[in-house]
Amino acid sequence: MFGHDDASTRYSPLTQIDTHNVQNLTRVWTYHMKKDGPASTSAGTAGKGGGRRSSQATPIVVKGVLYMPTPYSTVVALQPETGKEIWTYKLEKGRPAGRAVTYWPGDKTTPAAVLFGTSDGRLISLDAQTGKPSASFGENGAINIKLGVDNGYTDARYDLTSPPSIYKNIIITGAQVQESPGVGPSGDTRGWDVRTGKLVWRFHSVPHSGEVGNDTWAGDSWKNRSGTNVWGFMSVDAQRGLVFLPYGSPSYDFYGSDRQGKNLFGNSIVALHADTGKLAWYFQTVHHDITDYDLESAPVLMEVTHEGKKIPAVAVIGKVGLMYILDRRNGHPIYGVEERPVPPSDVPGEHSWPTQPFPLKPQQLGRSSFTSAEIATVTPEHQKVCTDLLATEGGMKTGGPFTSFGTKLTVMFPGTIGVTNWPGMSFNAKLGYLFVNTVDLADIGKIAKSEDGSNPPYERTSPWGTYARFWDQQKFWPCQQPPWGQLWAINVNTGDVAWKVPLGIIEELDAKGIHGTGALNYGGSISTAGGLVFIAATDDQRFRAFEAATGKELWVTKLETGAYTTPMTFQGKDGKQYVITVATGGSYYDRTSGDSVIAFALPQ
């Protein structure tokens, strides 16, 4: 699975590369996903494959074969020791879900399969050995997963961006749906027979009449409600038969006058019985979300030792940067949660929820508040840009946690990219540490009345467009004091921060002797039994390894472009441990582009 296991630990038991030799890592092959470039290049070369499409893909390696989607409408199987192609499957239309594929090992009657969603709402199964469509799955290896959930909105957005999860012979899918308007295709989660593609179960992410949670929607506001979807990653507890679902916010994201109430199961982690899709428990992290603070990263399943007892736990974190560590048998917070008052919305017709749930431990990761006294002073020029920006329209509104957009132009920390996003966390059970990289970047905007008759009647806007950031738009430097990016280790057995370090550099500032700024980042980490944490993600285009116990940077290499995804590691048939990252640039903060899949290993 993506993340190594169903528990989404992103932990590798490999030890060949460790804290003593990681500094010797060298590039051993490069595969270019764009077909008008060379298929692969030898050790240490960047190649000139070009590429103008970014990728968030993480390969998986199963039984000596590497599988991954590309942004060029293909899924490929490669020799993982060399990067040479074994087979390529080309979609006639659409693109494969960009973050990973899912592997099913097969059974006595059905061959092993590679499964993935597509940008046009299909679920496709390929024979893992040949790359041909699976004969028994749907029609010519594909099923249309829009059917039954489009609520009559046949032209509305519905696709998969993340890999499905597997429980026994059931493949479980979420979906990416529209963020506006409020009504449209549902974000329901479904289970399918992995051999045939037939529907096994469906869970209503917005509860229907008579179901648990329906009373959290005023009147009939639940009907045909869009959003409330798992567009990120799920996790599976195979022993208990549970699947854990991180749900995003209901549509419309920033104005909820037509959906008064807490709006379950929006912004909730939900545990279902994986064989039937029946509800086991839920925990909501944001009530009546009007900030687009989705849950989206994979819940991490682990054991926590607390008050002398071992507790099967699940940790979940979303865009707001609050980490909840829960008993995965029942959803009860292990370190406590309290409802705290948050600022009310002043938008006409809005009924914002007066409190939000804050975990007592761990502390909130990343920045959640801002005042004008915290304007960045890294250079006089940058300070002026940011001071002038803050003064727009007579001065922007600032505030503390859950300060939402209102009728006045507002600085909102964190922004909708989030303190963290789908890349989420990795875990080292030996240390009991969860690793998570964070970004401190605010959005700026306000809620303004739409044209008469529009749906929604009020929408997010700003003088710079719908999604504006609190930064220098030329340099992409945030407007508050650094650090702007950090890597954290959280001790799950105490709830405390074990360590945190700035992640990344700003080359221009570093050259001036201004260090420790951290960098904007968008991608995840992996942890290994060699005592390492590997992460690229930063817009300084570096790939790094840190000592898991201390946060000390042990190895860094500069790539030809940014790698805004999660790396992976595996042992080849030749006995070597390899580390792979996908570098294509083109994320929120990077104007460079590339198409490389890059493998590193220790010298012979």
Per-residue pLDDT for 270 more than 50?
yes
pLDDT at residue 467 in the model: 93
Instruction: Read off the pLDDT of residues 302-350 as tens digits, 9 standing for 90 and up.
Output: 999 999 999 999 999 999 999 999 999 999 999 999 999 999 999 999 9
Long-range contacts of the stretch 384-388 (C-beta < 8 A, 24+): 385/472, 385/479, 386/470, 386/472, 386/479, 386/480
Per-residue pLDDT for 38 more than 60?
no
pTM for the whole structure: 0.96
Terminal alpha carbon distance of the chain:
29
Per-residue pLDDT for 45 more than 60?
no
Per-residue pLDDT for 289 more than 90?
yes
Task: Report, in this order, helix, strand and coil percent for the chain, each rounded to 5.
Answer: 5, 35, 60
Per-residue pLDDT for 46 more than 80?
no
> In the numeric block, which tokens belong to residue 10?
């992103």
Q: Which residue has the tokens 């051999």?
A: 195
Q: Report the pLDDT averaged over residues 546-554.
A: 98
The secondary structure of 506-542, three-state, reads CHHHHHCCCCCCCCCECCCEEEECCCEEEECCECCCE
pLDDT at residue 35 in the model: 75
Per-residue pLDDT for 50 more than 60?
no
- Residue pair 296/268 in contact (Cβ under 8 Å)? The answer is no
Q: Report the pLDDT averaged over residues 384-396.
A: 98
Instruction: Find the helix or strand (DSSP H, E) in which 390 lies.
Output: helix 380-390
% of the chain exceeding 70 in pLDDT: 97
Per-residue pLDDT for 49 more than 80?
no
Residue type, 253: D
pLDDT at residue 590 in the model: 86
Cα separation values, 501 from 366, 504, 527, Å: 12, 9, 16
Euclidean distance between CA atoms 554 and 23, whole angstroms: 6
Angle (nearest 5°) at CA 403 between 397 and 405: 65
Q: Which residue has the tokens 């010797």?
A: 24
Long-range contacts of the stretch 322-326 (C-beta < 8 A, 24+): 322/285, 322/357, 322/358, 322/359, 322/364, 322/365, 323/359, 323/362, 323/365, 323/434, 323/436, 323/490, 324/269, 324/283, 324/285, 324/357, 324/359, 325/359, 325/361, 325/362, 325/492, 325/495, 326/269, 326/283
Phi-psi category of 19—alpha, beta or left, where left has phi over 0 and alpha has psi -120 to 50?
alpha
Per-residue pLDDT for 40 more than 60?
no
Cα separation values, 183 from 160, 187, 255, 418, 510, Å: 19, 11, 13, 25, 48
Per-residue pLDDT for 231 more than 70?
yes
Question: Average pLDDT over the chain, rounded to whole?
Answer: 95
pLDDT at residue 455 in the model: 87
- Residue pair 556/544 in contact (Cβ under 8 Å)? The answer is yes
Per-residue pLDDT for 511 more than 60?
yes
Q: What single string gives the DSSP state of each residue in 119-158?
A: TTSEEEEEETTT-SBPTTSTBTTEEETTTTTSTT-TTS-E
Instruction: Find the helix or strand (DSSP H, E) in which 489 lies.
Output: strand 485-491
pLDDT at residue 36 in the model: 66
Cis bond before residue 483 (omega within 30° of 0): yes
Cis bond before residue 265 (omega within 30° of 0): yes
Sign of CA dihedral 528, 68, 138, 161: positive
Cα separation values, 27 from 12, 263, 541, 547, 601, Å: 20, 49, 15, 20, 7
Position 80 confidence tier, pLDDT thresholds 50, 70, 90: very high
pLDDT at residue 44 in the model: 43
